[in-house]
Structure 1
Amino acid sequence: MRSRSIFANLSFAVTVGIATYLTVSRFDADTPHRAGKGGAPRSGPPSETYKLNGISLARWLSILSQTFSGIRNDRILSVAAGVTFYGLLALFPTIAAVLSVYGLIADSQHLTELLAGVEGALPTAGVEFLRNRIERIDNDQEAAFSIALVISVVLSLWSANRGMKALFEGLNVAYGEIEKRTFVQLNITSIYFTMGLVFFLVIAIFTVGAVPILSNLDNLDTAVFVLIWIGRWPVVFVILLIGLELVYRFGPSRTGYRWGWISPGSILASLVWLMGSFLFSVFLANFQNYNMAFGTLAAVDFLLFWMWLSSISILIGAEFNGIGERNFNE
């Protein structure tokens, strides 16, 4: 357990380091520098030529200050709560359907091994729910063929799609936009992103959950195992970063976007989510008496809180992007 904790902390440090590197390199790759004294004049409209790493510290602090004000003025915490509600509504039937279908083609022992690999990444509430669901699949295989599975799949698709549209509404609030897409356009976009979210979750679960399975291989070199243990988190982080950039680009109903002001919010949201999840896991690991306060609802309460934290992280990144972009447009 001690070595696992050391690997987890080291993985977190590596991930933060990669995030810092991506921040600097992405800012360096943006549009050309403003011309200095005696330099050549800038080309193109003033609103189109800027360099993010040329922003003064005072301007960065001003953007951060405006972001905090925007979080309050746009009621980001309340909007995130609405996103969390639809997300929770979609979570349980989706997981139940996926596990039921997966249980038809794989042994429940394999699911248990995958679950052991994500125990350090998911809240205790999520682990308990998944474990109970796996036990039900193992005890009642015939239930997987019931009409309940079909209903669960249909319900999960509707709920997940509605949850994604709720996220889009939150992004519109953060960017100060109104929804201008047609009903068909909005639903097609949300379905695409819902499928992308499922793909991300599958990749994340197998990336994180493959470690305990590989640890059982006798011919696996220790150095390779350590590399996989540490490297899985940066892989998840990079996938998360790419997904957030796509969400910030296509999620809100807006035109005239700048890729240069999409990456900063994506990196900020990823770091806020990673740090928040890490601190939340530390809290749950060191305060085991929370069941006395919340009773049997402790698992659901903390899962709900973690999902709310995730929604807040995404909306904070959007708020930061929108405010930064408006500053340069002015």
Structure 2
Amino acid sequence: LNRVFGLRETRPWWRRQLLAIGVTLLIAAMIVVALSLLLVGPILGPWVERHHRVGSAVEIAWSVGRWLGAAAMMALVWATLYKLLPDHDLPWRVFAPGAAVGVVLWVSVSQGAAYVMTHLANFEATYGALAGALAVLFWMWLSNLTLVIGAELSQVANE
């Protein structure tokens, strides 16, 4: 990301390592929250409706809100990566366009990759037991590509 923003790394090695560990833990926690909204949401919404006698409008709002909440959490993940990883001190608002586009691209790429892997590609015939690992690596590569595209957009919008 330093290259995207045209920066030279000036932080010492130990600080970069501590930052990498801290960002990894922070991002993991944020992703757990986002996935919890998506995975637990379909169970929690009907349960709340049954036990607290709320209307169907609340269930619809919950259905939409959990997706928006997960998207907002992922946009925050992207913006956090753009803010903390490069060696700069730019305000958070600089990263909003790139984070928003990055998340939309990431969701699109993830859905597209899932479709290709389940319907079009026959990885198991070619790679055997390694098919799952290669599919995950392919998805991670695409995810990183969306991260860089979002960073490039933030840089262009900042100029």
Normalised by the size of structure 2, how large is the TM-score? 0.80
Alignment match, 2:108: 275
Q: Deviations over 1:87-118 (max 9, x none)?
A: xxxxxxxxxxxxxxxxxxxxxxxxxxxxxxxx
Alignment of 1:37-76 (within 5 A): none
* CA distance in 2: counterparts of 1:244 and 1:207, whole angstroms: 18
Q: CA deviation at 1:258?
A: 4.7
Please list every run of 5 or more consecutive structure 2 residues that lacks an aligned counterpart in the other structure: none
Alignment match, 2:21: 191
Alignment match, 1:313: 146
* CA distance in 2: counterparts of 1:288 and 1:228, whole angstroms: 35
Q: 1:222 to 1:295 in 2, by over 3 A?
A: farther
Alignment match, 2:74: 240
> Are 1:296 and 2:129 matched, yes or no?
yes
SS in 1 for 2:50: coil
Alignment match, 1:210: 40
Structure showing greater radius of gyration is: 1
Q: 1:322 to 1:290 in 2, by over 3 A?
A: same
Alignment of 1:120-159 (within 5 A): none
For 1:247, the aligned partner's letter is L
Q: 1:181 to 1:289 in 2, by over 3 A?
A: closer
Q: CA RMSD in A?
A: 2.6
Contact 2:31/2:73, CA 8 A, preserved across alignment: no
Number of residue equivalences = 155
Q: Deviations over 1:124-158 (max 9, x none)?
A: xxxxxxxxxxxxxxxxxxxxxxxxxxxxxxxxxxx
Normalised by the size of structure 1, how large is the TM-score? 0.42
Q: 1:211 to 1:288 in 2, by over 3 A?
A: farther
Q: CA deviation at 1:237?
A: 0.8
Please list every run of 5 or more consecutive structure 1 residues that lacks an aligned counterpart in the other structure: 1-170
> Are 1:201 and 2:35 matched, yes or no?
no
Percent identity between matched residues is 25
Contact 1:245/1:263, CA 8 A, preserved across alignment: yes
* CA distance in 1: counterparts of 2:127 and 2:46, whole angstroms: 37
Q: 1:297 to 1:216 in 2, by over 3 A?
A: farther
Q: 1:304 to 1:222 in 2, by over 3 A?
A: farther
Contact 1:214/1:225, CA 8 A, preserved across alignment: no
For 2:146, the aligned partner's letter is S
